[in-house]
């Protein structure tokens, strides 16, 4: 497994959280989930390969109290897909900037955890046929 680097606020922008194990990843998700509880905009975590942040796909994970999303910025871009027919946007916080996310990308937090576990387990390169991600058109 690769060591991942996670940024979700100004403090971690200067000192990213390093993720080496599933336990580290679980702790990060819980930390961000707790911070998002009660806030109008849940946080987005930017996660990349710490050793090669420009050579591998970056993941954006929105982590709210019980819902979130994952976008894997690769070619092609893939994202989680929630309820079919959902329209509009939801607002998440990307390092103190309100960011609109398509509402149909929101999924239960367990799905976010599963996708991020795959990102960690596959060295930031989730297989193209991962069942919880769809190509964003």
| Percent composition of the chain: helix, strand, coil (DSSP 3-state, to 5) | 25, 35, 40
Dump pLDDT digits (tens) for 33-69: 999 888 889 999 999 999 988 889 999 999 999 999 9
Q: For residues 13 and 88, what is the distance between their CA atoms, to the nearest angstrom?
A: 29
Dump pLDDT digits (tens) for 70-128: 999 999 999 999 988 899 999 999 988 999 999 999 999 999 999 999 999 999 999 99
Q: Where are the domains of the chain?
A: 4-135
Contact 112, 126 (CB under 8 A): no
- Within 10 Å of residue 103's Cβ, how many Cβ atoms? 14
Q: For residues 8 and 75, what is the distance between their CA atoms, to the nearest angstrom?
A: 23
What's 21's DSSP letter? Answer: S
């Amino acid at each position: 497994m690769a060591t991942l680097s996670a940024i979700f606020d100004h403090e971690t922008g200067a000192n990213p959280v390093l993720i080496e194990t599933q336990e580290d990843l679980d702790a990060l998700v819980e930390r961000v989930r707790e911070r998002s509880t009660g806030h109008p905009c849940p946080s987005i975590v930017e996660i990349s390969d710490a050793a090669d942040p420009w050579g591998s796909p970056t993941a954006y994970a929105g982590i709210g109290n019980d819902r979130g999303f994952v976008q894997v910025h690769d070619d092609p871009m893939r994202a989680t897909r929630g309820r079919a027919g959902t329209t509009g946007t939801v607002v998440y916080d990307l390092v103190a900037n309100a960011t609109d996310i398509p509402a149909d990308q929101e999924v239960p937090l367990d799905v976010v955890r599963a996708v991020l576990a795959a990102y960690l387990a596959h060295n930031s390169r989730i297989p193209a046929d991962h069942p919880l991600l769809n190509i964003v058109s």
